[in-house]
Amino acid sequence: MKIAYPASFEMQPDGGFTVTFPDFPEAITEGDTLEQARFNAAECLSLVLDVRMERGDPIPLPLLSEERECIEPDAVTQAALLVHLTREAEHKSLTDLARALGSSWPAAKRLENPRHPPTIKQLERAAAALGKRLVLSFV
């Protein structure tokens, strides 16, 4: 699963760009250049996802769009969200994940918290516990 959300870039009359995300009405940012707007959009998206995960708010599945540019959150947020979305898709609770990892509930919960970056080994174990495998790439 790729974690990237469609964004709308609107050129402003005075220059610069405003960026919004249809899936996240609270996510609004801007940049003087398109490059800066993209960078700020990734930071904004990461922050919104972090807050939603911390609060337990719903997070829509990322649906790639051919009509809009898609923005990826930072790697730590992606990792936490991938564990969370995969666990939910497999209909497993945090307790189930903790058991499969031979770990505690708080340790399993930290895998879904972007403020506690997991190691590659922890992600590999979590993926295996969820019947998946970890694949990394540079893009």
In this prediction, residue 66 carries a pLDDT of: 81
Helix (H), strand (E) at residue 82 = helix 75-89
Residues 83, 120 share a domain = yes
- Given 71, 88, 110, which residue is the final one in a domain? 71
Residues 60, 9 share a domain = yes
Q: Which residue has the tokens 């540079």?
A: 138
In this prediction, residue 65 carries a pLDDT of: 76
* pTM score of the predicted model: 0.88
Which neighbouring-strand residues pair with 19? 9, 29
Asked whether the beta carbons of 87 and 105 are under 8 A apart, the reply is no
Residues 43, 99 share a domain = no
| Measured distance CA(14)–CA(86) in Å, rounded | 43
In this prediction, residue 67 carries a pLDDT of: 84
**Roughly how many angstroms between the first and final C-alpha of the chain, as a whole number?**
15
- Given 26, 48, 71, which residue is the final one in a domain? 71
Residues 13, 51 share a domain = yes
List pLDDT tens digits, range 26-69. 999 999 999 999 999 999 999 999 999 999 899 998 877 788 89
List pLDDT tens digits, range 5-18. 999 999 999 999 99
Residues 62, 117 share a domain = no
Model confidence at 110, pLDDT cuts 50, 70, 90, reads: very high
Residues 51, 27 share a domain = yes
Residues 115, 95 share a domain = yes
Which domain range does residue 64 map to?
5-71
Model confidence at 77, pLDDT cuts 50, 70, 90, reads: very high
Asked whether the beta carbons of 29 and 16 are under 8 A apart, the reply is no
Helix (H), strand (E) at residue 30 = strand 24-31
CB atoms within 10 A of CB 30: 17
